[in-house]
A and B are shown apart, each in its own frame.
Chain A
C-alpha cells in the first residue's frame, strides 16, 4: 500500500511540475485566436513559429547567443582547467592564498557587482561589442573549484610517467591531464552553455545595439512590442527554450553529476 502510494504521488507531482512547460508548447502551436482556449487545440499550426523566425530577427538573436555561449564555454573550460591543474598539482609559494582568494569570489554574484562591473567594462571600451558580452562572462570560480577537486583524484603516477619521459608542465597538462578530464569538462560545458545561453542581465546592461541582441533580450523585448500577441511571444519563448531542453536531455547525466558536486564539501 505505502510502497505503491509514494511512487504514484511522485509521478503525479512530476506531471504537475512540467505542466506549465507543456502548456506553453501546446499554446505556441495553436492558431492566434485559440491561444487562450482552455483545452486541446482543435487545429495545430506552425504559423506562430514561422512568423517569429521570419518576421523578427530571431535567427540573429539565436546566432548571437550561440556565438557568445560557445566561445565563453570553450575559453572558460580552457582557462579554468589550466588554473585548476596548477592549484591541484603544482607546488608554489602563495598557493593557499591564491586558492582561497579565488574561492572567496564564489560569494559574489552578478547583480551585486553589476554597476561597478559596467563602469570597468566601459573604461575598457567593451560597451556594445561581442567582446563585452563574452570576456566578463568567462571568469567564474565555480569551474576552477570543480576541476581542482577532480584533478586531486587523478593518480599522480600517470603524470610521473610523463615526467620521466622528459615532458614539461605544459605537455603534462595538455597530453595527460586534459584527456583524462573529458568527463568533468563535458559536465561543465553543459552547465556553462546553459548559463550563458540563458544570460539576460549582463547582455541587457552591456548592449544597446539591436544587432548584438541575444536571444533572452530578444524575447523579453517582444513583451513591449507584441504586448498581447501571446501566440508570437510563446512561439519565441519555445524557440529560446528548445536548445536548453535539448542540451539538458543530452547531457542530463553529466549535468546532474556536476550539480551534485556543488552541494558537496
Chain B
C-alpha cells in the first residue's frame, strides 16, 4: 500500500503514505474502544430484552409442563385462544381501560399543566403535590385505595354518606370496579403527564401568545390557535406513551393485582394479569407465550395506526 504509484505532487509524497495508515489504526482503535464501551449494555439488552422477545415467538409453539419439558404442538396454543372466553373478556377489559384511561388522564394532566404553568405563590408545592402519588409504589397505591374504599367504614364511604352513597361498594361491584381502577390510575399518573405537558408548554413562545392577545384573541382562541397546534408533538407523545402504559405497563399489573386481584367476577382482569395467571398460576408457559405474542401484535398495530393517523404527531393539515 505504501509503495503503490506515487502521487504526482512531490511535496505531499512524504506525508501521504503515512497518514492513511496512521488514521486507519486510529479508526480501528476508536471502533474497538466503542465496542468495548457498548458491550455490557448491548449484551445485557440482548439477553434480557431481545432474546425473551424472540423466545416468546418460539415458545408459543410448545406445550411446557410443570417440570419444564417442552413438546412441540404447532399452532395448538393459538387455536385454544378462539374458545378462551376469559381471554376475550380480558382483552375487552383492557380495551375499555385504554379508551377511558387515556383520554381522562390526558385531559386531567393537561388541565393541571395549564393551571400550574405560570408562576404564583406556592407553585413549587402545588406541582410536587400533583406528582407525589407517582412517587410511591403501585403496591402502596393499591393498599391505600383498598383502605379508603373499604365498604361502609372507609373514608370514601364516610365522605359520600351525606349524599346517600355511603353503601356503594366501589371495588366490590363488577360494574364499578373497572371505573374505580381507571380513576386511581389517573390519580397515580397525572403528575407525570403534567410534567411532560409543562415541558412541551415551555416551547410555546410567550411572544406568540402576547401577539394573539394584542390582536384581540380570546383566551379560548389563544389556546385553540396558538398553544394547541404547537403542543401537538407533546400531545402525541403523551397519547402513545399512555396507551402503551395502559396495555402493558406496570399499572396494568401491579395495581390490579393488589387492588382487586382481577375481580370482582373478573371485572378488572387485564390482559397482562391474565397472562401472568396462565403462566404462573396454571403453569401454561407455552400458552402464556402465545398470548404474549398476540399482545405485542396488538400493540405494534395500535402504535402504527396512531402514527399513520397523525403522521407522527405532526397533524400538518387541519
CA distance A79 to B37 in the complex (A): 8
Is the Cβ of A7 less than 8 Å from the Cβ of B121? Answer: yes
A-facing residues in B126-145 (Cβ within 8 Å): 126-133, 135-140, 142-145
Find chain A residues with CB under 8 A from B42 CB: 83, 98, 101-102
Known: A83-B40, A95-B34, A122-B68. A115 touches B279 (CB 8 A): yes
Find chain B residues with CB under 8 A from A248 CB: 128, 131-132, 135
- Shortest Cβ distance from residue A159 to the other chain B in the assembled complex, whole angstroms: 12
Max chain A C-beta neighbours (<10 A), residue from B29, B34, B133, B249 = B34
Is the Cβ of B37 less than 8 Å from the Cβ of A263? Answer: no
Contact of A237 among B112, B120, B144 (CB under 8 A): B144
CA distance A135 to B238 in the complex (A): 30
B165 at the interface (CB under 8 A from A): no
Max chain A C-beta neighbours (<10 A), residue from B49, B248, B295 = B49
In the complex, how many residue pairs between chain A and chain B have their CB atoms under 8 Å apart? 263
Find chain B residues with CB under 8 A from A83 CB: 37-38, 40-42
CA distance A194 to B37 in the complex (A): 26
A-facing residues in B113-166 (Cβ within 8 Å): 115-116, 120-123, 125-133, 135-140, 142-148, 150, 153-155, 158
CA distance A133 to B55 in the complex (A): 21
Is the Cβ of A263 less than 8 Å from the Cβ of B121? Answer: no
B168 at the interface (CB under 8 A from A): no
Is the Cβ of A245 less than 8 Å from the Cβ of B136? Answer: yes
B47 at the interface (CB under 8 A from A): yes
- Shortest Cβ distance from residue A150 to the other chain B in the assembled complex, whole angstroms: 16
- Shortest Cβ distance from residue A77 to the other chain B in the assembled complex, whole angstroms: 11
Closest B residue to A256 by CB, please name it: B195
Q: Mark A121-148, 1 if CB is under 8 A from B, else 0.
A: 0100000000000011011010010000
Is the Cβ of B116 less than 8 Å from the Cβ of A10? Answer: yes
Q: Number of A residues whose C-beta is below 8 Å from B?
A: 87
Known: A83-B42, A113-B53, A118-B279. A36 touches B250 (CB 8 A): no
Is the Cβ of A144 less than 8 Å from the Cβ of B41? Answer: yes
Find chain A residues with CB under 8 A from B197 CB: 263
Is the Cβ of A116 less than 8 Å from the Cβ of B253? Answer: no
Query: Quick check: which of B79-87, B206-214, B285-293 contacts chain A, the rest being far away?
Result: B285-293
Known: A111-B250, A230-B147. A241 touches B136 (CB 8 A): yes
Find chain B residues with CB under 8 A from A164 CB: none
CA distance A196 to B254 in the complex (A): 14
Find chain B residues with CB under 8 A from A14 CB: 125-126, 129-130
CA distance A256 to B50 in the complex (A): 30
Is the Cβ of B139 less than 8 Å from the Cβ of A7? Answer: no
Is the Cβ of A120 less than 8 Å from the Cβ of B45? Answer: no
Is the Cβ of B258 less than 8 Å from the Cβ of A38? Answer: no
- Shortest Cβ distance from residue B134 to the other chain A in the assembled complex, whole angstroms: 9
Is the Cβ of B44 less than 8 Å from the Cβ of A205? Answer: no
Contact of A107 among B115, B143, B244, B253 (CB under 8 A): B244
Is the Cβ of B44 less than 8 Å from the Cβ of A138? Answer: yes
Closest B residue to A122 by CB, please name it: B68
Q: Mark A31-57, 1 if CB is under 8 A from B, else 0.
A: 000001010000000000000000000
Is the Cβ of B120 less than 8 Å from the Cβ of A10? Answer: yes
Contact of B55 among A120, A237, A263 (CB under 8 A): A120
Is the Cβ of B135 less than 8 Å from the Cβ of A194? Answer: yes
Contact of B147 among A24, A141, A263 (CB under 8 A): A24
B-facing residues in A219-234 (Cβ within 8 Å): 219-220, 223, 230, 233-234
B105 at the interface (CB under 8 A from A): no
Q: Mark A200-222, 1 if CB is under 8 A from B, else 0.
A: 11000100000000001001100
A18 at the interface (CB under 8 A from B): yes
Q: Mark B35-61, 1 if CB is under 8 A from A, else 0.
A: 101101110110111111101100100
Is the Cβ of A220 less than 8 Å from the Cβ of B258? Answer: yes
A1 at the interface (CB under 8 A from B): no
Is the Cβ of B31 less than 8 Å from the Cβ of A92? Answer: yes
A112-B295, A259-B192 known; 12 new pairs, CB 8 Å cut-off, are A7-B121, A90-B37, A113-B56, A115-B285, A120-B48, A201-B276, A205-B280, A233-B143, A237-B144, A241-B137, A260-B195, A263-B237
20 examples of A-B residue contacts, CB within 8 angstroms: A7-B120, A10-B116, A17-B187, A20-B187, A24-B147, A102-B45, A111-B252, A111-B253, A111-B272, A115-B289, A118-B279, A119-B55, A120-B48, A139-B41, A198-B136, A200-B257, A219-B139, A241-B140, A260-B199, A262-B196
Chain B positions near chain A (C-beta within 8 angstroms) = 27, 29-31, 33-35, 37-38, 40-42, 44-45, 47-53, 55-56, 59, 68, 112, 115-116, 120-123, 125-133, 135-140, 142-148, 150, 153-155, 158, 187, 190-192, 195-200, 234, 237-238, 244-245, 248-250, 252-254, 257-258, 272, 275-276, 279-280, 285, 288-289, 292, 295-296, 299, 303
Q: Which 3 residue pairs are nearest across A and B when measured between Cβ atoms?
A: A263-B196, A198-B137, A14-B129
